[in-house]
Amino acid sequence: MRRKTPVLVGIILAAILVLSLTATAMLIPANDEAKEHSQATDHSQAIDKTESGNWDLERIDFIHYVRPDVQPKAPKAESCYKLLGVKWKALPVNYVINPTNLEGLKEAFVTAAVSTSAETWDIGTSSELFNDTYTIDSTAQYGVQNFQNAIVFSDYPDERVIAVTSIWYTPKGKQIVEFDMLFNTRFDWGDASLDSTKMDLQNIATHEFGHSVGLGDLYSSTCSEVTMYGYSIEGETKKRTLEEPDRTGLQVLYGA
């Protein structure tokens, strides 16, 4: 059954950030298509290959949950931005949008919401993070490591999970080489400024793009107004714009 009304989770979700880091690096088969799609690979010496010719990469998954009833207590002091210790070295980054969805959202709406979210991070730094143009591909999938930065709608088997972003990076050089983004189709997506029962696509996409450039989630109530706050709910639109801590973290990574 699809989720039609807000669900407030009554417990604190302790393990929000899921790290898929193992004792040995994730081995990703290299191929010509992968090289073609990877901006970073073409311009950096930081990506190692194993003797078998595979890329030496690791992956982090970020799970974006519905806001719970009880939220973590605020610490005495908080910077309200969190660096992952990885970043893009070759810019700007290309991305691919698969606009196929269950809501009947028009392609123009989906692409406008997503591209506006990417541009929101671009204007927060002097670096050009994302290309102004993007590719539309109805076959693009989440979670396939192919150096294609895919943004898709798909089912995630947990009605508390709004979205998921995964990033792949090099252990040596700490260079991001790919991100994939999934919007969970168990939610009703749309423009929450017009319908507060909707999960706002631009709002969530802006938060998820923060992960794609190297910023982590925040969960204390002190930081509840910043874009990288890790909880959201239907009707929320405040994450469409960056707050000062978001810009500070971004500029530490990519310059003012």
The domains located in the chain, with CATH, are: 17-254 (3.40.390.10)
Q: Give residue 23's pLDDT.
A: 29
- Please determine, for residue 244, whether its predicted confidence score (pLDDT) is greater than 70: yes
Strands (E), the chain: 17-20, 26-28, 55-66, 96-97, 135-136, 150-154, 161-169, 176-184, 189-190, 199-200, 231-232
Q: What percent of the chain has pLDDT above 70?
A: 75
Q: Give residue 12's pLDDT.
A: 31
Cut 0.85: pTM above it: no
Q: What is the mean pLDDT of the chain?
A: 83
Name the phi and psi angles at 13, rounded to 5.
-90, 105
Q: Cα dist. 29→52, 58, 254 in Å?
A: 9, 13, 29
Chain Cα centroid distance, residue 233? 17
Distance CA 177, CA 188 (A): 31
In this predicted model, what pLDDT tens digit does every residue of 98-141 receive, in sequence order? 999 999 999 999 999 999 999 999 999 999 999 999 999 999 99
| Burial class of residue 49 in the structure, from the number of CB atoms within 10 Å of its CB (0-12 exposed, 13-18 middle, 19+ buried) | exposed
Q: Give residue 68's pLDDT.
A: 87
| Single-letter residue type at 77 | A
Taking residues 44-54, what's their average pLDDT? 47
Q: Give residue 22's pLDDT.
A: 31
Distance CA 217, CA 104 (A): 30
CB atoms within 10 A of CB 121: 23
Characterize the bridge pairing of strands 161-169 and 176-184.
antiparallel
- Please determine, for residue 93, whether its predicted confidence score (pLDDT) is greater than 50: yes
